[in-house]
Amino acid sequence: MITELSLSELRGGLRRGELTSAEIVSAFRDAYLADAKKEEPLGAYVEFFDDSVALAERADEARRAGEADAPLLGLPIAVKDNILVKGRALTCASRMLRGFTAPYSSTVIDRLLAAGMIPLGRTNMDEFAMGSSCEYSCYGPARNPADRTRTPGGSSGGSAAAVAGGLAPVALGSETGGSVRLPASFCGLYGLKPSYGSLSRYGLVAFGSSLDQIGLLGRSPEDLAVVFAAAAGRDPRDETSAATDFPAARAVLDGAELPARDFRGLKIAVPREFVPEGLEAEVSAVFDRFVRWARSRGAFVEIIDLPILEASVAIYYILAAAEASSNLARYDGVRYGLRAKEAGTLFEMYERTRSEGFGEEVRRRILIGNFVLSSGYYDAYYKKAQAVRALLLREVARVLAEHELILSPTAPTPAFKLGSKVRDPLAMYLSDVYTTFANLALLPSLSLPAGLSREGLPIGVQLTGRRFAEETLLSCAETWRREGGGG
């Protein structure tokens, strides 16, 4: 079936003339419509674009006319509902932004459109990307295709559910502390959080500006490589973006095969803090299997002590909340989005708008952020967290000066039941225990599908590399896909 093919396989079918773009997009549209009729639909999309098939037909016309020089012409992609696509609705899965239409496209979208890709629709997410289960959405939760009673992970849960559920071949998500890698692990996908600066943040709705990155979810490392290569590069509209070169990924975009990395002599660090004795047995078993496989291929895997990692979740939830409280101050009912009705004063309008527009989890993080930035607490919390982040940056850099990769589980558990943690914020936050350090340290990190639990739930393993070493992660993941059972 078309919907079971990877992006790379679909691309090959187009090149050989075995498929048309209209057939591909129609297949995903029909799968979405069929799923929407089920008793428990995946809830992957909040909107499937009505004109996607028409855009695919135009791509086919261009191909027949010999105008198919765009490398990804006619290939579809799902887009998380916090990434702007000009002329399309955007809500960040929040009541606050219902009725808002994007006045411009993000740089990543512009570049993918220039490469010929077709946006299929907007995917579900935790409100303003704040969550680990895709339950904090004004549209209701997304569900895991492996077990619809369970979470697909968050906040990019809709993107992961779309790809894993056969409703899109590849999807854009966003990452602030694990929001691409966690869903990838829970749904059995490859999920890449690029280095901070590899992909422009222009047109990504801000959550934590020193942490945010657009990320990618797909069925193979090659799928991630082609989309990444088409979107990466310096953007003058984002001063944090970097002028980087990814020749191997660009070669894949031009039609070459993604090279598989030889593991012989590869130095890999496993932080002792990330493989505690109490780690869930099934996760531990999958992780141990991956370590044995890496060693059997000649990798040098060393258990190291990196105690600063034990503070990463605490640092993250202080800094991310502080930045969120600042970024979300703009949603006040004045310029765009929801405005509370019948407010008697300006301050009453502010209060009612934000109380009505924001959900419980967003309000919680705004309050935490305001608290850690407030007079009397700034030095004790925010300033100290920044100092510890600087120490984490140094310590992780020291490890990566001696090793090419840091290896860990992606998540402490397989996908958990919907509703099981939504009233326990601390338990929900601890889902990110292995992922936040990469955002804090500005590093690329990739989750790959490494095995299944006894109940058939996917379990991921995480590779984190040096800054701008995305190609190393992708080539290592490709080796696993070919040789280790990852595909």
Exposed/middle/buried for 392, CB within 10 Å: 0-12, 13-18, 19+?
buried
Q: Which of 121, 152, 148 is nearest to 135 (CA)?
A: 152
- How far apart CA 200 and CA 360 sit, in angstroms, is 30
- How far apart CA 114 and CA 346 sit, in angstroms, is 44
Would residue 315 count as lying in a domain? no
Would residue 389 count as lying in a domain? no
* Residue range of the domain that includes 92: 2-253
Would residue 323 count as lying in a domain? no
- Write down the pLDDT at residue 63: 93
- Write down the pLDDT at residue 69: 85
Query: Residue 465 forms beta bridges with which residues?
Result: 405
- Write down the pLDDT at residue 343: 82
CA angle 271, 282, 422 (to 5 degrees): 85
Non-local CB neighbours of 89 within 8 Å, separated by 6+ positions: 47, 99, 100, 101, 102, 122
Three-state DSSP at 27 gives helix
CA dihedral sign, ordered 115, 117, 121, 122:
negative
The token pair at 219 is 């069925």
- Write down the pLDDT at residue 231: 98
Whether 155 sits among the annotated catalytic residues: the reply is: yes
Would residue 312 count as lying in a domain? no
Whether 453 sits among the annotated catalytic residues: the reply is: no
Would residue 215 count as lying in a domain? yes
Catalytic one of 8, 94, 105, 155:
155
Would residue 460 count as lying in a domain? no
Whether 179 sits among the annotated catalytic residues: the reply is: yes
Three-state DSSP at 433 gives coil
End-to-end CA distance of the chain: 17
Put simply, whether the predicted model's pTM sits higher than 0.95 gets the answer yes
Would residue 79 count as lying in a domain? yes
The domain spanning residue 100 has which CATH number? 3.90.1300.10
Catalytic one of 52, 80, 94, 132:
80
Report the number of distinct structural domains present in the chain.
Answer: 1
168-223 residue pLDDT tens? 999 999 999 999 999 999 999 999 999 999 999 999 999 999 999 999 999 999 99
Q: Within a 10 A sphere around the Cβ of 70, how many other Cβ atoms?
A: 17
Would residue 326 count as lying in a domain? no
CA 15 to chain centre: 29
Catalytic one of 94, 156, 179, 447:
179
Q: Which residues of the chain have pLDDT under 70?
A: 485-487
